[in-house]
Amino acid sequence: MDFARTVTERTLHLNTRLCVGLDPRAGAYRDPEHLRQHTLDVLEAAAPYAACVKPQLAFYEALGLPGLQILEEVCSAARTLGLPVLLDGKRGDIGSTAAAYAQGWLTGPHAGDALTVNPFLGFQTLRPFLDAAIAHGGAIFVLVKTSNPDQADLQGHGVSEKVAAWISEANSETPAGRYGPVGAVVGATHPGELAKYRELMPRALLLLPGLGAQGAAPQDLRAAFHPGGTGALASASRAVQYADGLDVRASREAAKALRDGLNGAMD
């Protein structure tokens, strides 16, 4: 099964729309081994309440080779737990460089089942990523309207809508009732715009970053979902991994509470 179908089936089977971000911050730990063990413990604790997991590449790359080794172990553990892996790397480049990024992050044991990508070098630069994703049953998530306040410098104003139109066209051959290989990143911090982007991209999974630490609440997100509660993933990272310092039990309870809050928003 491809990424979109796997996530959708997990959403329906486990009744969860939560994407758990794993952003291990080196300063919170004694050493890389402490970081590794805590991250794996949080992953295992939160897995029953998650539709997928989203490691943020920057935090692993910052550790050098040990970080990449930890990332590979995190990806392997997630798959053992039945969790699809969405790598948050926001990659984007031209030609052979884009193809190399796609090979690096969408194929192989350390790769994700999906990857966030940046469209601002032009839509043709997304093709290597999309080709690699399709070849391996994966997906890409294109930045459309991100959660940070500074996004307004470039996003919106017709630009985000143009990206949304490209995504809709890229998914146009996807059978009715299913989601295509091109998803969209739309910040949960823009609740008033979620219905618009849901309508513009009917066959795209929406990744909604910003739940928890950035201020978005579950009840703000209902418009991003289709009837039945499918079509979107609400992402929380710090609110789960560091819910109460390094207390893994608090991470488990935070994931459960966010899962329940999102389910309540569907009612």
Using alpha carbons only, give the angle 90, 96, 101 rounded to the nearest 5 degrees: 30
**Annotated catalytic residue within 54, 90, 162, 256:** 90
Q: Are 205 and 198 contacting, i.e. CB atoms less than 8 angstroms apart?
A: no
Reading across the β-sheet that carries 86-91, which strands appear in turn? Answer: 52-55, 18-22, 232-236, 206-209, 182-186, 139-145, 114-117, 86-91
Residue 256 falls in the annotated catalytic set:
no
Residue among 185, 265, 168, 190 at smallest CA distance from 233: 185
Q: What share of the chain is helix, strand, coil (3-state, %, to 5)?
A: 50, 15, 30
Please tell me what DSSP assigns to residue 107. Answer: S
Whether the CA torsion 76, 64, 22, 110 is positive or negative: it is negative
| Residues with catalytic roles | 90
